[in-house]
Every structure is written in C-alpha cells, then in structure tokens.
Amino acid sequence: MSFFKLNSVSKIYQQQWVVKEVSFTLSEGEIFGLLGESGSGKSTLLRIAAGLLDPDAGDVWLQGQKLRLASDQLIPGHPDIKIVHQDYNLSAPLTVRENINYALRYYEKTYRDERVDELLQLCQLESVAEHPAKSLSGGEKQRTAIARALAEEAKVLLLDEPFAHLDLPNRRRLTETIRELAEQTGIACIFVTHDANDALSLSTRMGILQHGNLIQLGTPEIIYHSPADAYVAELTGEINLLGADFLKNDVHSRLPDGRIAVRPEKLTLSFSPTIYGVESVVKRVVFEGSHYKIYLQAGHQLLKVYHHEVVPLGKSVFVDFRTF
Ligand code: ADP
Ligand code: MG
C-alpha cells in the first residue's frame, strides 16, 4: 500500500484535457517535484490532490483510504493534507507567531505555545517571530505560510510554486526547510514549479507535466541524463541536440526522433587534435560564473560546451564526447 497515491486523475475544462490520466505514488518523507510550464495543469492537479477540486475521472488515496469528493463535503479538503497557495494569504498586521497561533486557536494554550515554538524552530523563523507579517521578506512569508499549514499535524504537504517570488538565498533557505521537514516529520511533500533547477535539486523523485500529461517520471538524475524526448531535455537544462547522423558511434542513447541529447558538461574541448575529436570553430563565449559557455560551429551543427577558461572567438578547437 502506498502512502499517498494519485490514480489516473483527469480534469476537463471546456472540452479540453487540463489533466490527463495522471498517476504517481509517494512514500513517507518523499519530496516529489512536479515540473511544467505555465498552463500545464500543475495548480489544477495540486488542488485535486488536496481534495479541494473534484477530478472528472480517477481518484486520490491516502494510506489506503480514498479521498472523498470535494463536492460531497461541507468544507472541502482533507484534515491530513495541507496546501500552501502561491499568494501565502497571511494576516499582514499580525506577527509571525500570531499567524501560526491562529491556526491552533481551538487548542489548549500550553499545547499551542509549545507547538508554535516547535514550528518556529522547524521553519527557521525564531528571529522574526515577533515581526508583523507585512514586514517579512518573501522567503520569511513563504516559511510562515508553511508553518501555519503545518500547525495541525499533517501527513501530506502540497506547495504551489513555493519558490516563485524568492531570491537565491531565500530559495536555498526554503529548500533546506522543506528537506528538514520531510526528514524530521516524515511528511510527504509535492511541490510544483516551472523552474528546472528547483525541481532537480529538491526532489527525491520528480515528474514532467506537459499539457496535462505526465510525460516522464523518475529520479532527478534519470530525468536529467536520460530525458524521454527533446521537450524534457530542453525543459531540464542546457542541451545539445545532435542530428541523427552527427555522431558515428552510438554510445549515447537516442531520443525517439533519432537525435542524440548531450549535456554541455559531457563535452570536452582541446586545442590540438584528438583521436575522435570533432573540429569546430568558436562562435560565442558567455561567462556564467562557474564556467564559460562556449558556442561552437561544427559543420552544420551548433554545439554548447562548458570550459574553465575563456577561449578566443574564431579559434579552431576539437570537441570530444565523454561517455561517462
Ligand atoms: P499551471 O498551474 O500549470 O499554470 P493551471 O492548472 O492553473 O496550470 O491551468 C491549466 C489550464 O487549465 C490552463 O489552460 C487554464 O486556463 C485552465 N483552467 C484552470 N482552471 C480553470 C477553470 N476553473 N475553468 C476553465 N479553465 C481552467
Ligand atoms: Mg499554477
């Protein structure tokens, strides 16, 4: 029996599939990232998973129990499944502590105080506990919204674009918080995002949603290194899509369309000829921090390679394809 399961969930709006027969399962403590472009059906799928929206077909299961339809309930949703929407929805004049406290207003005071302290610590909010919500940074607001969602103990946490408005330091903080939450409480988490880096770096497993279809499911490593098709390859990072006859040997796996997908870091650059090196000319050089991205012309094929130092434009170089 899986902990949390979506079973062939579908949703149709105006005769269009917005979510089509999507199935996946989560174990306890698992962090599942759902990556898709805007309009691919991520929020719709998340609301169905939360029991807030009825699917047109399929069902959602928590610990072997089928979720009741939203339309069958006075208050839609499930007590063990919490969702954090993109707009946080905090009470601006109230402090962080008061916002979290409010979610526990029906509980006894001693328990409530203990629980709020625990959540402030878990979500790294102790230093801003007495600050009003309106004065918080985006990251602090997001962590407060998560703490509030978790005030009553939950089994599944659903996050809609949690990183959307955050700068890099806050993204890192939030990533850490979500990881710690999953490890310490065993909560299963689904987050949706349109950012490949967030999905790759945080997920234990992830899925790719395209026009409501779950087109690939796997670990971040599998999806990054063996994308199902050119769409997944391009969505998940920089990629060289090599024409079907560009490489003679077949050590790299081919996409369904016959092309070969190779990440730039799998290519190496030399200034003198190598046995299998493909001769090419430097067309453009872009500094990206940890490396230079070098654009090369090799016959009709344009290539992108990462290199540790700058290379002069127009220079002839040799490119090798690493097989590891
Ligand atoms: P995402 O979160 O990936 O951006 P959404 O789930 O919000 O995608 O939307 C997916 C598609 O479904 C979009 O084309 C959107 O316009 C459509 N859609 C969402 N909700 C409704 C609705 N209540 N009625 C009609 N169409 C909707
Ligand atoms: Mg959305």
For residue 254, name the pLDDT band (cuts at 50, 70, 90).
confident
Residue 188's CB is within 10 A of a number of other CB atoms, namely 25
* C-alpha dist (Å) from residue 30 to 65, 121, 176: 19, 21, 14
- Residue found under tokens 């610990």: 63
Q: How many residues would you count in the chain?
A: 324
**Token pair belonging to 298:** 């090799």
Determine whether the shortest distance from the Cβ of 33 to ligand 1 is under 6 A.
Answer: no
220: Cα separation from own chain's centroid: 10
The one-letter amino acid code at 216 reads Q
Structure-model confidence comparison of residues 254 and 60, the more confident one: 60
Q: Beginning with the edge strand found earlier in the chain, give each strand of the sheet holding 65-66 in spatial order.
A: 16-26, 4-13, 57-62, 65-66
Tell whether the model's pLDDT for residue 323 goes beyond 80: no
Q: pLDDT value at position 324?
A: 59
End-to-end alpha carbon distance in the chain: 37
pTM attached to this predicted model? 0.91
User: Which listed ligand is nearest to 160 at the C-alpha?
Assistant: 2
218 by Cβ neighbours in 10 Å (0-12 / 13-18 / 19+) ranks as middle
For ligand 1, atom 12, the nearest C-alpha belongs to 18
How much distance in Å is there from the Cα of 76 to the middle of ligand 1? 19
Ligand 1 contact via 41 beta carbon (within 6 Å): yes
Ligand 1 nearest-atom number relative to CA 47: 6
pLDDT tens-digit profile of 138-181?
A: 889 999 999 999 898 899 999 999 998 888 888 898 899 999 98
Helix H or strand E encompassing 287 = strand 278-287
Q: Which domains does the chain have, with CATH numbers?
A: 4-230 (3.40.50.300), 238-320 (2.40.50.140)
